[in-house]
Amino acid sequence: MSLSLEHALERFWGYTNFRPLQQEAMSCVMNGHDSLVVLPTGGGKSLCFQVPAMCLPGMAIVVSPLIALMKDQVDTLRQNGIPAAFINSTLDVEERRQVARWIHSGELKLLYIAPERLVLPGTLEFLGSAQVSMIAVDEAHCISEWGHDFRPEYRGLSVVRERFPDVAVHAYTATATPRVRDDIAAQLGLREPTTLVGSFDRPNLVYRVERRDRLNDQVLEVATKHPGEAGIVYCPTRNQVEEMAALLKARGIKALPYHAGLADNIRRKHQDAFLNESVDVITATVAFGMGIDKSNVRYVVHAAMPKSLEAYQQESGRAGRDGLPAECWLFYSTADLMRWRNMIDGDDEVANQVARDSLDQVAQFCTSAACRHQSLVRHFGQELPHQSCDACDVCLGDVDLLPDALVVAQKILSSVVRQKERFGGEYTALVLKGSKDQRVLQNGHDELSTYGILSQHDTRVIRDWVEQLVGQGFLEKTGEFNVLQVTPLGWQVLRGELAPKLLQPANPKTSKARKSKSVDEAAWEGVDHELFESLRQLRREVATQMKVPPYIIFSDASLRDMARLRPTTMAHMHLVKGVGAKKADDFGELFLERILEHLAEAK
């Protein structure tokens, strides 16, 4: 008997409503029409192909580049009562034979496989004998050299279309600019695909950006705000990854390092410890993808500037995948920018320029006094409908704003005009500082009325203000050398018709303490905290017995809903978000018993 999308969603996943664009994406699969779906991390992207796979006859092939993510998703699917498997290098000969038998017998509904293994002639020939319902290419941005995570092995996927000409192909990604989306469609040979692009905004994430100063103290302050909760700290080098893990452990925080320099078995052991909640924090290099589907990461820290906003969106997006509030901290320094620039040494000048432009965009994001959520979605070609997100340091008032920002901005813009709009940000900062730099003197700019007009400020601070004005649209960079020009909005500032926001120079000795305002309060409304912790402990015990990560049993969101609704019957248990028929049968009675015990003790 065939299932409807609605029935499958409720039966296997315990949800009664679709998230934005999910139903449209699933309909493309059901209708056999190629599609390109861009949904942010946490937007339910995987369900777009998993749910219709349960409704269509045959087996769906899911292309995934990350071994750990394959196992995570397959474990979750099996826990929901869905026949799924993966093929990758971690399987031994007998395990591969077992998967082959499942495929041959038609038992599987979803098969996860790495791109390099799928395109092997033997694999394609074997799968050609199976009834393939659809082909889903996950992390599809990896196929584009314009993307932030290009993987050459994805280029070979074009042969899949040739081998399965009558099977629809669907591409899914969380981060893709319009250029990357066009490249994905072309490289995969999608036929008149329906393109669905969701909002890139993650309203449950609180973004905070600070200049790096006393990094160890800054990271410790974040970690200690989240005792017993999962966090990821990204560091730029392997040595820093190791040092940060040691620092956290020395302060009583359970942490382990994770990077490509560790032996495979150690890396796997550390990742499993994080997934199984034996440790709370993983420190990792930003260049090494975690490839995990852990839903209850409550904070992500970047100890250095990422190389692109696409990378930042994806890495910070590992927080709050369950939809509950989470924090994303970025501690940056101008040294980060120089380090990344020094690593751009490819032969392809176009690719080099793309990388440099990406770095400039990250620098603007870090130094801007504009809403962080607005800045991120604008990068992907979207706009937020509201002025304040109430979920970033700028909109929450947690940053120090310069009281005389209009006057300072007018001085900077005036200097750009008096320099005939022929110089970049570094040079402009030197003029405003009153530098004796040879270039400034040779150009006669020490005679300008704006020369030395901001001499009381550090050159680095002036340079930051220039970038903030660029980020807010009052200045723009043009040409190969990023020459500054005043925009129409900038001329309004010069005339005093518009006032920008500029950040106060950081001073750790006098800066105000961070506000403790929490956007997490609404998510805890009506939740019995003591019951939640009891259910969380029960979940950990069950997961340990079953040798699976705790969040595969129930997500934090489901546990909070249980602790809010406090169901006392199986009928009530089915009303909890994320509790499908299989999970209710497997764990419902056990969790009901714990809830009833708690209610009895509370009387």
Q: What was the pLDDT predicted at 109?
A: 96
Rounded to 5°, angle at Cα 571 from 567 and 574? 75
C-alpha closest to that of 171 among 136, 200, 144, 147 = 136
Class at the top of the CATH hierarchy for domain 205-379: alpha beta
Closest CA to 285 of 332, 333, 245, 329: 245
- Could you tell me which of 357, 323, 324 has the C-alpha nearest to residue 340? 357
Report, as an integer, the average pLDDT of 550-570.
93
CATH number of 526-602: 3.40.50.2300, 3.40.440.10, 1.10.150.80, 1.10.760.10?
A: 1.10.150.80
Position 336 pLDDT exceeds 80: yes
pLDDT in tens, 140-189: 888 887 666 677 778 888 888 889 999 999 999 987 778 889 999 999 99
The H or E element that residue 133 is part of is: strand 132-137
Is 488:482 a contact under the CB 8 Å cutoff?
no
Mean pLDDT check: name the lowest of 142-151, 221-230, 400-409, 502-511: 502-511
* Per-residue pLDDT tens over the stretch 299-311: 999 999 998 898 8
Residue 511: predicted pLDDT: 38
Distances in whole angstroms, Cα of residue 253 to Cα of each of 74, 163, 229: 30, 51, 10
> For the segment 444-462, what is each residue's pLDDT rounded down to a tens digit?
999 999 999 999 999 988 9
CA dist list (Å): 399 to 16, 362, 430, 467, 473: 40, 18, 26, 17, 20
Distance from C-alpha of 334 to C-alpha of 466, rounded to nearest angstrom: 14
The pLDDT-based confidence of 132 (bands split at 50, 70, 90) is very high
Are the C-beta atoms of 196 and 173 separated by less than 8 Å? Answer: no
Q: Which DSSP string do the residues of 276-302 spell out, in sequence order?
A: TTS-SEEEEETTS------S-EEEEEE
Segments making up each domain of the chain, as ranges? 5-197, 205-379, 405-494, 526-602
Q: What average pLDDT does this structure show over 120-127?
A: 91
Where helices occur in 331-436 by DSSP H, the ranges are 334-342, 349-367, 372-379, 405-418, 425-433
pLDDT reported for residue 513:
40
Q: In the prediction, which pLDDT does 131 show?
A: 94
The CATH number given to 5-197 is 3.40.50.300
Same fold for the domain at 5-197 and the one at 205-379? yes
Instruction: Report residue 350 as tokens.
Output: 């176009």
Q: Is the pLDDT of residue 330 over 90?
A: yes
Length of the chain: 603
Torsion of CA 209, 213, 216, 222, to 10 degrees: -30
pLDDT grade for 517, boundaries at 50, 70 and 90? very low
pLDDT at 598 over 60: yes
| Predicted local distance difference test score (pLDDT) of residue 506 | 54
The whole-number average pLDDT for the span 55-62 is 96
CATH for the stretch 405-494: 1.10.10.10
Convert the pLDDT of each residue in 343-371 to its tens digit. Answer: 877 667 777 887 888 888 888 888 778 88
Residue 260: other Cβ atoms inside 10 A: 11
Q: What pLDDT is stored for residue 516 in this prediction? A: 39
Q: Are 540 and 277 in contact (CB under 8 A)?
A: yes
Q: How far apart are CA 431 and CA 134, in angstroms?
A: 61
